[in-house]
Amino acid sequence: MKLAAKLWIGVAILIALSPIGLILPERFKAGSAWGEWGAGEMRKLAGYVPKGFAKLSSLWNAPMPDYAFRGWEKKGLPHLSLAYIVSAAAGIAATVIAALLIGRILSKKGD
């Protein structure tokens, strides 16, 4: 088996395992993942929201907030797990496409 095929199989396994990010925090009542806090959660954790954080927090809205489709936030773990898998696949696809495009652009400049 070629190295590229092994790498893609590894990526597929990681995509399939991505719902662990939902299951473990729920099982251990750990709250959200470290560093993925919004302004409200930051206020609850630290007691305040840093000025820069508050100023920049509205700058970016994720295409899939909480890695779920709109309206799926309150659905059960199976729905959220599927949304996590789709989110992981979409993120990896976007990254691969961006890397390929940048590679093509840079390789044409070298000609």
- pLDDT at residue 111 above 70? no
Least-confidence region, from 21-25, 77-81, 101-105: 21-25
Confidence bin at 110 (pLDDT 50/70/90): low
Q: Is residue 38 part of a domain?
A: yes
Domain holding 22, by residue range, is 15-109
Prediction pTM value: 0.72
- pLDDT at residue 35 above 80? no
Confidence bin at 67 (pLDDT 50/70/90): confident
Residue 62, pLDDT score: 76
pLDDT > 90 in the chain, percent: 40
Q: Is residue 5 part of a domain?
A: no
Q: Is residue 3 part of a domain?
A: no
- Residue 66 and residue 73 in contact, taking contact as beta carbons nearer than 8 Å: yes
Among 31, 26, 51, residue whose Cα is nearest residue 39: 51
Confidence bin at 13 (pLDDT 50/70/90): very high
Q: Is residue 34 part of a domain?
A: yes
Contacts of 33 (CB under 8 A, 6+ apart): 21, 25
CA distance linking residue 82 with residue 106, whole number of Å: 36
Higher pLDDT, 30 or 104: 104
- pLDDT at residue 45 above 80? yes
Count of domains observed in the chain? 1
Q: Is residue 2 part of a domain?
A: no
